[in-house]
Amino acid sequence: MKKLIIVTAALAASLAAPQALAVDSLDQLLQEVRKSRSELSAENKEREQRFVQNRNEQAQLLEQARQELAAAEQRSDALTEQFNANELQLAELNETLRLQLGNFGELFGVVRQVSGDTVGLIRSSLVTAQDNGREELAERLAQVRGVPSMEELNNLRALLMEEMIRSGNISRFNSVVTRPDGTQSDEELVRIGVFNLVSGDRFFNYLPETNTILELARQPQARYRRMAEDVFTASPNTTVAAPVDPGRGSLLALLIQEPSLGERIDQGGLVGYVIIALGIVGLLIALARWLYLGAAGTRIRGQLKSVDQPNEKNPLGRILKVYDDNRDADTETLELKLDEAILKEVPKLETWQGAIKVIAAVAPLLGLLGTVTGMIVTFQAITLFGTGDPKLMAGGISQALVTTVLGLTVAIPLVLLHSVVASRSKALIEVLEEQSAGIIAKQAEGGR
């Protein structure tokens, strides 16, 4: 303590040295030192008191926290025991419920399953296109986890019965339809059960995802469209033939994908068009020759009825005219003259028959050419894209098959027409030769 006083006094003396002129005496210096000591002592006591007070407060808070922890642990133990007890009681109640329900649990599962199936059935039904919101009841029953009420079961039965009854009805209603170009219009529609939607000669499809009635961008063949128009324009209590899609649109979707005759021909490509052009040329030639030979045969038959009056407008008449001009010639000369006349008539009767035969032979060869080019296209597609997507190979395969069909379609009738034309011309030539032989025989008998 003495060392502290001495150090304090020395410090005070050193601090007061610059102010030595202001201090009058050593007594005043002593008083200031004592004053500073008393102030320092008071400050230290105050700090000590605050420290003791904070220590006591911390001890009190620690004790309070320990008490709250003990209470929380006791409450946690109590809740754990209550939870375990509730679990045991819940398990016992569930077992009791299972035993009491028995087969009702399976029944309710069947109800939920039927409700789920009914939701899909009603939502995609064409009846819903006419009356929206019919599937709400089935959706509630499909999502319920409890026991459905008797009223809900009766409503489900009534909904299914309504769908069955309306699936056999034909009704008219007005609705907004979407055209292939995206525009919308209000049109009168005819619903054929749950199978088809038609308006005039057009078919429509119902999209349940967007609740939209969409006109098919590609309509089926004309005969189905005529049937749809008959249904649309039919008066009540009238029986007409109607198109029915039992697949509820799936068969119609496949039907409209079937290519038309023009599209099928277009699949044959350039080779297919060449085959068709040759077939048309061959058909025209065969038709022209058939008409010519028919007319020539008619005139020859007419000439046979009047052999003594030759008519140079038919082959037989021209041959008879040669006979009349050479009645005085000997038999050998007359025979030569008649053979020469027949040789002049034969090319007129057999002309263009070779062209028909050539076209009939070339058409299947062109079909084979189209088959080869189509297979080349197919193999190129396989090389570039593999065999993962069959649609990429469909173009080449279609070309190969269509050209083969076109080649055979042209060749078969042309072969038959060539046979018909050749046989007719041969029959006419035989008539000319027969008459010529008769004339020569008659001349020979007269010369004897």
Per-residue pLDDT at 226 exceeds 50: yes
List pLDDT tens digits, range 173-185.
Answer: 898 898 888 888 8
Q: Which of 69-83, 87-101, 136-150 has the weakest average pLDDT?
A: 136-150
- pLDDT tens for residues 309-328? 777 788 888 888 888 878 77
pLDDT per residue over 15-46, tens digit each?
444 444 444 677 787 788 778 878 888 888 88
Q: Give pLDDT tens digits for 89-125.
A: 998 888 887 776 666 667 677 777 888 888 888 888 8
pLDDT band (50, 70, 90) for residue 365: very high
pLDDT of residue 422: 92
Which of the four pLDDT bands, split at 50, 70 and 90, describes residue 446?
A: low
Higher pLDDT, 434 or 4: 434
The predicted structure's pLDDT at residue 335: 81
How confident is the model over 380-384, as a mean pLDDT?
A: 80
Mean pLDDT of 259-278: 85
DSSP state of 329: S
This prediction has a pTM of: 0.56
What's the 3-state SS for 128-183?
HHHCCCCCHHHHHHHHCCCCCCHHHHHHHHHHHHHHHHHCCCEEEEEEEEECCCCC
Residue predicted with more confidence, 310 or 11 = 310
pLDDT value, residue 168? 83
Phi, psi of 171 (to 5 degrees): -135, 155
254 versus 207: the higher-pLDDT residue is 207
Whether the per-residue pLDDT at 146 is higher than 70: the answer is: no
- Contacts made by residues 227-230, CB under 8 angstroms, sequence distance 24+: 228/196, 228/198, 228/200, 228/201, 228/202, 228/203, 229/198, 229/200, 229/201
The CA–CA distances, whole Å, from 332 to 4, 13, 320, 434 equal 180, 183, 16, 17
Across the range 425-435, mean pLDDT stands at 88
| Mean pLDDT taken over the chain | 82
Of 103-117, 290-304, 372-386, 402-416, the least confident: 103-117
